Amino acid sequence: MPTYDYRCLECGHEFELFQSMTDKVKRKCPECSRPKLKRLIGAGAAVIFKGSGFYETDYRSASYKKAAEADKKKTEKTTEKKDGSKGAGKDGKKPATEAKKTPKKKDGE
């Protein structure tokens, strides 16, 4: 809801009023009680859009979404081939191999 500036043409009282855009314009001054209020045109504040439906990407077509998903999968596959990270962990390193077993010494050796 926007904030509107008002000024009384009779007594000069100025004030701001937080009201809905659908509310009627106020006419009666809270100071002198005369019906001489005028709503002023102010710089105003930026309009804030909340919720979905305000971004370009909210209305992407189904074919665009499918193509983007296919491209993403293709990129992931080529990245795996370049890294050679098949079987690699999250950090890109290959898993540690088992420790080398040392042969047991026989008695007398």
Q: Tens digit of pLDDT for each residue in 9-54? A: 999 999 988 888 888 999 999 999 999 999 987 666 666 677 666 6
* Amino acid letter for position 79: T
Structural class in CATH, domain 1-69: mainly beta
* Exposed/middle/buried for residue 8 (C-beta within 10 Å: 0-12, 13-18, 19+): buried
- Output DSSP code: residue 98: P
Q: Tens digit of pLDDT for each residue in 45-61? A: 666 677 666 666 667 77
